[in-house]
Structure 1
Amino acid sequence: MIGILGIVIIFAMVFGGYLAAGGKMTIILKSLPFEMMMIGGAAIGAFLISNDKGGIKHTLQDLGKVFKGVKWKPEDYRELLCLLFALIRIAKQSPVDLEQHIEDPQSSALFSKYPKIQADKEAVALICDTLRSASMNYDDPHQVEEVLEKRMEANLHHALHSSHALQTMADGLPALGIVAAVLGVIKTMGSIDQPPEVLGKLIGGALVGTFLGVFLAYGLVGPFAAKVKAVVEEDSHFYQLIREVLVANLHNHAASICIEVGRQNTPAHYRPDFADLEEALKSIKQEAA
């Protein structure tokens, strides 16, 4: 909703201000289809050249993040802490019972209580791979933390590809606008024998190309890239929370301490309230009993 509101404000303020100052939309509307074909078509072509099929698909999917916002909400962080608490308790009390959950998480009754987390392949893989490694005596906290850090850095780098692709397009749009404007000037020079009122319209049409390139770059595509980047970086906190809790577990802290370490390392705007989380953990203990 905020993304849509932002787009509406951009168009309203730019074109509303233009009209309020006495500008006329006729020349813009007349030139817009041709200028958009040149600038937009060239930008799309350059995007296709500089990205592979996977990158193109990834970028198109990530455009939805501009309007949907972050994937992980505050209640998801609370559920993640509850899931990790239950898994760590099982690992400490009965490692054999843990295997049924980490070897087949999609069929696990425990994971099934948290369907949104269960549906996220990377979150499930981080949890299961780390707990499985610990059960195989690969439990040096510092080594595991380093492995998880590198894994999450690689995942974040991949997730930010669409933001970089959009920003590259935004950086090129002003130059493409100049290209369109130059072509418009060439067209104008071919009609130099026409009266001033005709030349004025031709020059105005050429300048629409410059305007359109800058407007698309800084009014739409650039902000889209920034929003996608912000959303991806915000969602990465969810996976960092998994690392903090599981590394704390490798230090042989009690399950409740591991969860508190994770809660304290959760960004303030997502951090569960201590009392609410404690109540949720009590329910898990009662179910286990």
Structure 2
Amino acid sequence: MYLIIGAIVVIASVVGGFTMVGGNLLALWHVNEIIVICGCAAGAYVIATPPKVMKSALHGMKSLLKGPKYRRADYVDLLKLIYELLLKIRREGTMSIEGHIENPKDSAIFQKYPKVAADDHILAFITDCLRLMVGGNMNPHELESLLEYELETHHQEALEPAHSIQKVADALPGFGIVAAVLGIIITMSIVGTAPPAEIGEKVASALVGTFLGIFIAYGFVGPIASAMENRAHEDGKAFEVIKMALVASLRGYAPPVAIEFARKLLFSDVRPSFQDLEADLKAAKG
């Protein structure tokens, strides 16, 4: 929703300001300039970007039209899931969850939280971490170091689509100059043979190329890249929460304390209060 509102504000501001001083909107419409700028940008993007990243970038732009992947209630479910697993480990030992992590789709604990269980990346991260705790005989420092490396790799991969779109935004003003130079070349070729009015029209057309390159870059493509980067940071918070809770548990903290450590990592807009989460955990424990 905010993406659409922002785009409307950008277009309305430019169009409104231009028409207020008597500008003719048709003077800004030059298909040849759009073909040069957008075509060059698209071609350069294909050259520079691996297919995997292009596919992820397309998916990321589509996801901007939706809400965030995880909301407050989803984080509460995630914390409750981790709490139940840690509580079972504390009561019955680490081997008691082996069946749950080997077949999470059939686990009674995981089935209580369908959204978390449906996220393959989160599910794999949880089960892999618990598998290390069950059979790896790792100390907290080793597990924390390993998980930090894994999270660093995950964040780098999640940010690649946004960075690739940002590179397009950085290149668009240059392609606008290319379109403008082509227009000036055409203009100079008719100097002396064409009337001043036609020459002025050609110059204006060339300047539109510069305008479009800058307008598209800073009005749309750059902000979209920033929005994708912010969304990647938000979606990655769930992995950090899981890491914190499991490492805290491995250090010997009781499940409620480990979950409290994880809760404090959440952004304020999705972080449940201590009292609310405590009530949810008591319900899960019951």
Instruction: Give the TM-score normalised by structure 2.
Output: 0.96
| 2:200 corresponds to 1:209 | no
- Mapped to 1, the partners of 2:161 and 2:244 lie a distance apart of 27
Please name the residue that 1:133 is paired with: 132
| 2:53 corresponds to 1:55 | yes
Equivalent residues in 2 for 1:107-186, closer than 5 Å: 107-186=106-185
Residues matched between the structures, number: 284
Please name the residue that 1:70 is paired with: 68
Please name the residue that 1:9 is paired with: 9
Please name the residue that 1:238 is paired with: 238
User: Is the contact between residue 177 and residue 210 of structure 2 (CA under 8 Å) also seen in structure 1?
Assistant: yes
Q: By how many angstroms is 1:70 displaced? A: 2.4
Paired letter, 1:108: S
Paired letter, 2:9: I
User: Is the contact between residue 163 and residue 229 of structure 1 (CA under 8 Å) also seen in structure 2?
Assistant: yes
Q: By how many angstroms is 1:54 displaced? A: 0.8
Q: By how many angstroms is 1:115 displaced? A: 1.5
Could you report, residue by residue, the CA deviation over 1:208-256 in whole angstroms, capped at 9, with x for unpaired residues? 1000000011001000111100111122111101011000110121111
- Could you tell me the percent identity over the aligned residues? 39
List runs of 5+ in structure 2 lacking aligned partners.
none
Could you report, residue by residue, the CA deviation over 1:116-169 in whole angstroms, capped at 9, with x for unpaired residues? 111222211221111111111423101100100110010000010111100100
- Mapped to 1, the partners of 2:235 and 2:20 lie a distance apart of 42
Paired letter, 2:171: G
Q: By how many angstroms is 1:68 displaced? A: 2.2
Paired letter, 1:71: K
User: Is the contact between residue 241 and residue 262 of structure 2 (CA under 8 Å) also seen in structure 1?
Assistant: yes
User: Is the contact between residue 177 and residue 211 of structure 1 (CA under 8 Å) also seen in structure 2?
Assistant: yes
Please name the residue that 1:218 is paired with: 218
- Mapped to 2, the partners of 1:82 and 1:219 lie a distance apart of 42
Paired letter, 2:151: M
Please name the residue that 2:87 is paired with: 89
Please name the residue that 1:45 is paired with: 43
Q: By how many angstroms is 1:185 displaced? A: 0.8
